Amino acid sequence: MKLLSFTTREGAEAVGVLTADGIRVLTDTPEAQSVRELSPMRRLLKQTGGDISRIQNGLSDYSRTDIEEVVLNVPVPDPTKIIGAPVNYADHQNEMKQDLNIRSLGVFLKAPSSLLPAGGTIQLPYFDRQVDQEGELAVVIGKRASHVAPEKASNFVAGFAALLDITMRGREDRSTRKSFDTFTPMGPWLVTPDEVGATENLELRCAVNNTLRQDARVGDLMWGVTELISYVSSIMVLYPGDIIATGTPAGVGPLLDGDNVSLEITGLGRLEVNVTSSGAVECPTSGGGEWLPSRD
Ligand code: MN
């Protein structure tokens, strides 16, 4: 069969099958409808133009439930993309003995399917490779952004969240090393900019098994939130719900089976996840050297 995605004369997006007798339109089937649906968070971002805080005044009109009664998902479970900032803190550049930083490297993409909610479990894929934690501030885009000037960039932010950019060490492409399923824990929630204030003042603390590994000020980013949005939007259109992971400070280190990782950023809550190596196999790529898991 030949399948087509198209826009009808009426402006509706549709999917169909090309036959000798024209296109059979499948979009009206229940299966197609359910797949097309955006997550409730992305619908909310679209409906509010990214300015979620404007619903604040009418909150009491909505139905209510207790947080103990629900299972938290990733704040944005279905972004069109996750953009990462490599080597965006000077102290992390030093610890990695890197010649280059973001000013040379630009940004990279992580697979959205790597997202993991707070309370989830990171799955170490290989028993013979090192995987590190990287605590980071995440920016969630609120409305379509293209070629945005730095001084206007804050208008495009829906909110901020804690994010772990879990990373396999080695010389495979970053999109490989950072895109394993469960390698992007994010949450527990999204906090609107009015409540966060100036991101430069945020403190980031990441611990493994309650031992502090990373302790930094977001103000030490080489490219801050507005510079990042401006730069990324000069390359690719940013859509509501897209996530920018702003980079990690010094203190990254290996994760092992049974570890507990927690990331706290001022005002953004506590993101906590576990680690398992159950099901790990031998790595099919070499990484260009020795990258055995070890505790320093
Ligand atoms: Mn990172």
Nearest to 129 by CA among 262, 289, 275, 249: 289
Lowest mean pLDDT among 11-20, 23-32, 109-118, 225-234: 23-32
Query: 54 CA distance to ligand 1 centroid (A)?
Result: 32
User: Rounded to an integer, what distance in angstroms lies between the CA atom of residue 94 and that of residue 99?
Assistant: 9
Whether the pLDDT of residue 34 is over 80: the answer is no
Query: 39 CA distance to ligand 1 centroid (A)?
Result: 25
Whether the pLDDT of residue 29 is over 90: the answer is no
What's the pLDDT at 146?
A: 98
Query: 58 CA distance to ligand 1 centroid (A)?
Result: 38
203: which residues sit within 8 A by CB, 6+ positions away? Answer: 215, 216, 217, 218, 265, 266
Query: 132 CA distance to ligand 1 centroid (A)?
Result: 10
Query: 72 CA distance to ligand 1 centroid (A)?
Result: 24
- The helix or strand, by DSSP H or E, that contains position 30, with its residue range, turns out to be helix 30-36
Query: 251 CA distance to ligand 1 centroid (A)?
Result: 12
CA angle 247, 250, 256 (to 5 degrees): 95
Query: 258 CA distance to ligand 1 centroid (A)?
Result: 22
Model confidence at 61, in pLDDT bands (50, 70, 90)? confident
- The helix or strand, by DSSP H or E, that contains position 37, with its residue range, turns out to be none
What's the pLDDT at 294?
A: 62
What's the pLDDT at 55?
A: 85
Pick the CATH number of 82-276 from 3.90.850.10, 3.30.930.10, 3.40.50.720, 3.30.420.40: 3.90.850.10
Task: Confirm whether pTM is higher than 0.85.
Answer: yes
Comma-separated ranges of CATH 3.90.850.10 domains in the chain: 82-276
What's the pLDDT at 28?
A: 66
Q: How far is CA 162 from CA 43, 118, 159, in A?
A: 21, 10, 11
- The helix or strand, by DSSP H or E, that contains position 43, with its residue range, turns out to be helix 40-48
Lowest mean pLDDT among 5-9, 167-171, 187-191: 5-9
Mean pLDDT score, 161-176: 97
Nearest to 243 by CA among 112, 56, 103: 112
Query: 48 CA distance to ligand 1 centroid (A)?
Result: 30
Q: What are the helix (H) ranges across 80-181?
A: 90-95, 102-105, 174-177
Query: 252 CA distance to ligand 1 centroid (A)?
Result: 10
Query: 247 CA distance to ligand 1 centroid (A)?
Result: 5
What's the pLDDT at 54?
A: 85
What's the pLDDT at 31?
A: 59
Tokens of 98: 């890197």
Write the pLDDT tens digit of every residue in 101-125: 999 999 999 999 999 999 999 999 9
Query: 136 CA distance to ligand 1 centroid (A)?
Result: 7
DSSP designation for 2? E
Model confidence at 137, in pLDDT bands (50, 70, 90)? very high
Tokens of 149: 């000037």
What's the pLDDT at 209?
A: 98
163: which residues sit within 8 A by CB, 6+ positions away? Answer: 136, 137, 138, 184, 185, 186, 243, 245, 263, 271
Query: 99 CA distance to ligand 1 centroid (A)?
Result: 16
Query: 295 CA distance to ligand 1 centroid (A)?
Result: 20
**Burial (0-12, 13-18, 19+ Cβ within 10 Å), 23:** middle
Q: How far is CA 182 from CA 22, 222, 226, 263, in A?
A: 43, 27, 28, 16
Chain centroid offset of residue 189 CA: 12
Say which amino acid occupies 106.
Answer: G
Query: 44 CA distance to ligand 1 centroid (A)?
Result: 28
3-class state of residue 281 by DSSP: strand
Tokens of 104: 């040379």
Query: 245 CA distance to ligand 1 centroid (A)?
Result: 7
Query: 59 CA distance to ligand 1 centroid (A)?
Result: 36
